[in-house]
Amino acid sequence: MTDFLATAYRTRAAGSLRAADAGSPASVAGWVHRRRDLGGIVFLDLRDREGIVQVSFDPSWTPAEALAEARRLGPEDVVRVDGMVFPRIHGQLNETLETGEIEIRATGLEVLTRAEPLPIQVDYAADEELPGEDLRLRYRYLDLRRPGLLRNFVIRHQAAQAARAFLSAQGFLEVETPLLTKPTPEGARDFLVPSRVHPGEFYALPQSPQIYKQLLMVSGFDRYFQIAKCLRDEDLRADRQPEFTQIDAEMAFVDEDDVFRTAEGLMAAIFRDVAGVELETPFPQITYAESMARYGTDKPDLRYDLEIVDVTEVLQQADFRIFQGVRGTAQRIRGLRIPGGARLSRRELDELQDVARRGGAAGALWVKRGDDGALAGQFAKGLDEGLANAFYEATGVAAGDLFVAVVGRFRGGEGEGAEVDGALDELRRHLARKLDLVDTSKHAWLWVTEFPVFDWDADHERLIYAHNPFSMPGDGAVEAILEATKDGTPTGEAARKLYGMGLRSRAYDAVYNGAEMASGSVRIHVPAWQQAVFTALGIGPEEAQAKFGFLLEAYRFGAPPHAGFAFGFDRLVMMLTGTNNLRDVVAFPKTTSARALFEEAPTAIPDAQLRDVHVQVRAPGA
Ligand code: ASP
């Protein structure tokens, strides 16, 4: 709780008054949160950023003029009150207010400004529904007055300060990098800014400070951080904003462990300072391949167990057509044992089909064991006693359990058809929630390491980068890429072969309770290796020179080994505040259709101004 220094308008912050202040005079300033007129007496709830305090106007201590003025006050009028702090009369204590043990007995009242009738309220009862979000975004400055929303920004501030304090103590320098820049490859579209002085040329707004932070390492800054705005022109989803904030960092002369210890320390400091939570460090680590095999995702929620079991060997022997179909193919049968899942209703079991389809599979197949141990469900009849026992053995399925299986090709497996790992991920998350298996007291952080170097773009039959093109390929992978690119970009079979090698990079993600919170990597710092990766991605020396020439050039003049990470700051603040709405932690967010509703951006630009920047607008699609 902050108490503001006295200003010309007040001696105290209204919300900071406590029982110990009883007996002192106080002048406060703020908004009329609520007014109750009890005939002779008027009660005012006066609100400032620190909270709400009760002010009482009573003929025994308030001059008649001030009392009359108090009667005329409306919601959100801005006032200044002079008075004395008094303990509240026994029986009138308000435990829901931090100032609830005292009140200010007003001896003076000054109206600073009046508020017109409000388009949205500020004061809501605990169970009252808020107006629609579009209306609240249209009047964002009013909505931000809501104490519940304001609190998120106090937490956001505390998190930013904790990050700064921790990183500064670790020798990081906070450096700002440009907003007007060249396209950076984070895999999204760029927001472009036309240049007035260079007709036909454009700046790109940064998708991240990636290249700059690497250049700072070449410059010998050793440790850099920035709480940086990143701008990506992506199709929007509810949990995305076109501009967002990262805690961005880079370190020289480090390997993964150095980075992990630093990032863990950073998170521990933030959780300690902001939430009073002691995180357990070091965070566990698993490789990407292991994460996919065990959880079907690269961001597993480890607040519950539920691990994937491969039951291909057992179930392909079942007298069940779909299972027999996998014999001799690259398809697998994998599933999850759900403890206590046998109690799900028929309707809840039917729902699993849609859940599995959301994750890319044709459907889900389930069996359950009743309390008597008997097996029932979709493929129960296909298992004779011997096979059923082998199935129990392989999966641990016991009385009361459900087993849900998915058939198809899984990540890393060769062959045709879409990958169905996502189906098990969806089922795992859905069933954990449904059966209350999530231990919400846990803070389940982990590192997922060794991401693939390349992904495969099936539409264009080519390699694309999985993390970013600056990530250092892992053991042996550099040699393989140098070899595969010595005659230029591999195409067709050669490209497939390179992808098929499943090369791993030294890229990593930090995952918290099933959400990706950070990503980063050890970077390539040798120009020839960087060019080889570019070449593999179809970016030949000339294009590389045009796009990233300054980075490749910098590497020629003595680049230290370096690595870094970026945490999604908005998402972190969401976790710390407990909101599931990204817009609740961004002061002036865009809607899901990327509009700013009160200042009305984006907006058409007058012709003259467009001419200045040499831009002509085409009709959409023209
Ligand atoms: N620039 C990367 C990102 O935004 C993070 C990093 O590799 O440091 O995901």
Question: So what's the pLDDT on residue 96?
Answer: 87
Q: Is the CB of 509 under 6 A from ligand 1?
A: no
Given a cut of 70, is residue 1 above it in pLDDT? no
Q: Is the CB of 564 under 6 A from ligand 1?
A: yes
Q: Is the CB of 519 under 6 A from ligand 1?
A: yes
Given a cut of 90, is residue 622 above it in pLDDT? no
State the average pLDDT over residues 462-481: 92
**Tens digits of per-residue pLDDT, 81-98?**
999 999 998 788 888 899
**Tens digits of per-residue pLDDT, 603-614?**
999 999 999 999
Question: So what's the pLDDT on residue 391?
Answer: 97
- Supply the residue whose CA is at minimum distance from atom 4 of ligand 1: 208
State the DSSP code for 428: H
- Chain-centre distance for alpha carbon 458: 29
Distance CA(94)–CA(101), nearest Å, equals: 7
State the average pLDDT over residues 567-596: 94
Q: Return the minimum-mean-pLDDT range out of 177-186, 198-207, 436-445.
A: 177-186
Distance CA(526)–CA(269), nearest Å, equals: 34
Given a cut of 90, is residue 209 above it in pLDDT? yes
Question: So what's the pLDDT on residue 537?
Answer: 93
Atom of ligand 1 nearest to the CA of 521: 7
Compute, in angstroms, the gap from residue 468 CA to the centroid of ligand 1: 8
User: Ligand 1 test: best mutation among 227, 244, 519, 551, most atoms within 8 Å of CB?
Assistant: 519
Compute, in angstroms, the gap from residue 567 CA to the centroid of ligand 1: 8
Question: So what's the pLDDT on residue 3?
Answer: 60
User: Is the separation of the CB atoms in 538 and 463 below 8 Å?
Assistant: yes
The model's pTM is: 0.93
* Confidence grade of residue 597 (pLDDT, cut at 50, 70, 90): confident
Q: Is the CB of 186 under 6 A from ligand 1?
A: yes
Question: So what's the pLDDT on residue 186?
Answer: 67
| Contacts with 435 (C-beta within 8 Å, 6 or more apart), sequence order | 338, 339, 340, 341, 344
Q: Is the CB of 565 under 6 A from ligand 1?
A: yes
State the average pLDDT over residues 552-560: 95
* Confidence grade of residue 185 (pLDDT, cut at 50, 70, 90): low
Inter-axis angle of helices 527-536 and 477-484, nearest 10 = 60
Q: Return the minimum-mean-pLDDT range out of 137-151, 329-343, 542-556.
A: 542-556
- Supply the residue whose CA is at minimum distance from atom 9 of ligand 1: 519
* Confidence grade of residue 126 (pLDDT, cut at 50, 70, 90): confident
Q: Is the CB of 566 under 6 A from ligand 1?
A: yes
Q: Is the CB of 184 under 6 A from ligand 1?
A: no
Distance CA(133)–CA(582), nearest Å, equals: 12
Question: Mean pLDDT over all residues of the chain?
Answer: 94
State the average pLDDT over residues 595-599: 86
Compute, in angstroms, the gap from residue 451 CA to the centroid of ligand 1: 14
- Supply the residue whose CA is at minimum distance from atom 1 of ligand 1: 210
**Tens digits of per-residue pLDDT, 399-441?**
999 999 999 998 877 666 778 999 999 999 999 999 999 999 9
**Tens digits of per-residue pLDDT, 292-335?**
999 999 999 999 999 999 999 999 999 999 999 999 998 999 99
Q: Which stretches within 328-476 are classed as H helix?
A: 346-358, 385-395, 421-434
Compute, in angstroms, the gap from residue 153 CA to the centroid of ligand 1: 25
Question: So what's the pLDDT on residue 458?
Answer: 83
Q: Is the CB of 465 under 6 A from ligand 1?
A: no
